[in-house]
Amino acid sequence: MMTATAAACRRLVGRAAVVTGAGAGIGAAIARRLAEEGARVAVVDRCAASAAHTVDAIQKAKGEAVAITADMRDESSVIDAVKSSQASLNGLDIVVNNAAQFHFGSLEDTTLEDWRRLLETNVIGYANMIKHALPALRASQHAAVVNIASVSSFVAQPQMFVYNASKGGVLQLTRCLAMDLAPDTIRVNAVCPGSILTPAAYNHMDNLGLDHEEGTKEFASAALMNRSGQPEEVASVAAFLASDDASFMTGAHIVVDGGATLD
């Protein structure tokens, strides 16, 4: 269902957006929000069924979307996803990099493949999406890139060093590409979510040995607002950064964590 806020905004009418990792969680919420605001959306995910589910939700809300299956670790797959997005949407104005891999464990138990899996998805995959979308973004009058980073980009967390290193890389990628792409009037910004109730959050609870009720309470207690966030609360910030309302913002990151990292 279209939210009142999104219906009132409609800031993205006539624009084409691609969102990776959009089959569930934050990515799905972002895809829905962009569509609610009038964008044509390419929903990209490794899982074809998940991408189709998000597209179905968008279409039921009278939005326009297409499902594309791609693996961010595979550059040829990324190239195909960008080409398919452009062809299906008749252009490309917005890139939202959200696809992510996770790893929890000790240094001794972490393998080279674990490092590769996260860095190739969370950092290199983001760079490749932007790289291959550049011709379309340069042709756009409203080009915007939104990278989904994390509070894990700048805080230390136990047994999450691979993930946190990758998300730190996302912030630096955002800053550096904002500088490099400014002459092309392509804005590059990031969102840093904290504890958001998604399948990934429940997986984190499982890795900590917490049942979901206990884990939800523990995660909520870390925030000044004494709750975890919802994917839609991240999506609203991503939509803002993708819109002309953020036209004088680039190289920035917005923290969406209920005040958990205020100190």
> Across the strands, what pairs with 41?
17, 65
- State whether residue 99 is helix, strand or coil: coil
Contact 153, 164 (CB under 8 A): yes
| CA 237 – CA 242 distance, rounded (Å) | 9
- Catalytic residue status for 202: no
From 163, 164, 240, 241, the catalytic residue:
163
| CA 89 – CA 261 distance, rounded (Å) | 38
State the DSSP H helix or E strand holding residue 137, giving kind and residue range, or none if neither. helix 125-139
Contact 74, 46 (CB under 8 A): no
Query: What's the token pair of residue 9?
Result: 């905004």
- State whether residue 253 is helix, strand or coil: strand
Strand pairing category for 94-97 and 16-20: parallel
Residue positions annotated with a catalytic role: 163
